[in-house]
Amino acid sequence: MTKITSKPNCGNSPKMAFLKEFNSAFVKANVKFLLDNVTDDIVWTIVGNGKIEGKEQFADALEQMTTENISELFLDQILSHGKEGAVRGTMVMRNGKQYAFSDFYEFKGAKGEKIKTMTSYVIKL
């Protein structure tokens, strides 16, 4: 089981709490939660690795990801404002390799939780 540590206190911000849960769902391989919380026309840009467009491609990408190798997820910063949000953290793999990441999100609306676009930066440490 992956250990998840989050520094930000998301208690007073529903959108920040949602982003914490969304990132946790990635490492727990909770594909249903992820698919339920993106728009049908989701666009996920993984900088240096391409673009995923539409819910079907997003689902395919999630199925291909191997998250069982992640032993720890550290969420160092979670931000939200209006229709935008961001998460910054690190992942530690079971083999000891570490990756820093930043994900930037655009929501369908300021009040909605469905994610319309994601841009991910991942750097091996």
The model's pLDDT over 9-46, given as tens digits with 9 standing for 90+, comes to 766 788 999 999 999 998 888 999 999 999 999 999 99
The model's pLDDT over 49-85, given as tens digits with 9 standing for 90+, comes to 999 999 999 999 998 876 668 899 999 999 999 899 9
Q: What is the pTM of this model?
A: 0.90
Give the single-character DSSP code of 109.
S
Closest to 116 measured CA to CA, from 57, 39, 50, 54: 39
Q: Report d(CA 121, CA 99) in Å as an integer.
A: 10
Structure tokens given for 21:
């849960």
Backbone dihedral region for residue 82 (phi beyond 0: left; psi -120 to 50: alpha; all else: beta): left
Topology of domain 3-124 in CATH is Nuclear Transport Factor 2; Chain: A, (3.10.450)
Where do the structural domains in the chain lie, given as residue ranges?
A: 3-124
Q: With beta carbons less than 8 A apart as the criterion, state whether 99 and 58 touch.
A: no
